Amino acid sequence: MDRKRMAAACALAGFALAGAKFAAAATEQDTAQGIAQYREMLADGNPAELIEMTGEDLWKESRGPKNASLEKCDLGQGAGVVKGAYAQLPRYFEDAGRVMDLESRLVYCMVQLQGMEAADVTKKPFSGDGQYSTDIEALVAYVAGMSRGMKIAVPQTHPKEQAAYARGRDIFYYRGGPYDFSCASCHTGDNKRIRLQDLPNLTKQEPARAAFASWPAYRVSQGALRSMQWRLQDCFRQQRMPLLKYGSDASVDLTVFLGVNANGGQMMAPAIKR
């Protein structure tokens, strides 16, 4: 780990310790109040900003068998254009012949431009609690941060984008597993909670916008940055459903459904979560 990463990791360890104290206090006080206190303590800062800096370095660094950077990666706005790209993902990419979210597109670019093996890149896409972010997470934080304040505009112009939305809607309402749960079981009603967590109604415009706009996010209770792929995978885990394969069509389709429902909202990721 280079000096910049080591310094960032040390700083994040401090944030994680402070966050753990608030997470522990959440059993004794309202969770929303606890996270508000944590945000106040950070003032205008966000631990994810350190990870964004790492992601920017990784974007520009020559790596892999081809010793190339990701600066020619097309995220939908043209080769190398990062600003505003995340707000318009997932989308159809002609070169890949499929609809991709940010994470699957980054893997594609790392393989095509840098010569890396997809299996190696996706072997461990998520960091553990309190660990510094993986390369993919850092890149996600950087790209997402470059869309902060921009309007969410997940496209539905290509037939494959429309088909992805329809499949994503089916997945959202599909019931299964030992609890006969679906995404809709938790996210289609108002004023629902699970333990200490508020559950947004993702079929309504405003809560759908607020939820989608805030991922990826730095999760206080885990001291780590979490991506949308992680969020979906963890929801499936809690439903006791088979885990989503990282970057799979199913994971992207579900993200398309959530993103289109959030269109018109203002991107604010990486955000801070409990």
User: What long-range pairs does 83-87 form, CB within 8 A, spacing at least 24?
Assistant: 83/146, 83/147, 84/146, 84/147, 84/150, 85/143, 85/146, 85/147, 86/143, 86/144, 86/146, 86/147, 86/267, 86/269, 87/147, 87/150, 87/151, 87/152, 87/153, 87/267
Is 193 known as a binding-site position?
no
Catalytic member of 196, 199, 235, 268: 235
Is 10 known as a binding-site position?
no
Is 158 known as a binding-site position?
no
What's the burial of 51, exposed, middle or buried (CB within 10 Å: 0-12/13-18/19+)? buried
Which pair of tokens denotes residue 148?
A: 């902060």
| Residue whose C-alpha is closest to residue 125's, from 52, 47, 220, 224 | 224
Is 109 known as a binding-site position?
yes
Q: CA–CA distance from 79 to each of 69, 73, 75, 95, 179 (Å)?
A: 12, 5, 7, 12, 45
235 flagged as catalytic: yes
Is 186 known as a binding-site position?
yes
Give residue 207's identity as a one-letter amino acid code. Answer: P
Q: Which conformational region is residue 180 in: left (phi greater than 0), alpha (psi within -120 to 50 degrees), or beta?
A: left
- Dist. CA 38–CA 47, nearest whole Å: 11
In the chain, the N- to C-terminal Cα span, in Å, equals: 28
Q: CA–CA distance from 166 to each of 162, 172, 191, 252 (Å)?
A: 6, 10, 27, 12
- Dist. CA 14–CA 99, nearest whole Å: 39
List, as residue ranges, the binding site for substrate: 231
Question: Which residues are tagged catalytic?
Answer: 235
Q: Which residues are annotated as a binding site?
A: 73, 109, 183, 186-187, 231, 235
Binding residues for heme c, as ranges, are 73, 109, 183, 186-187, 235
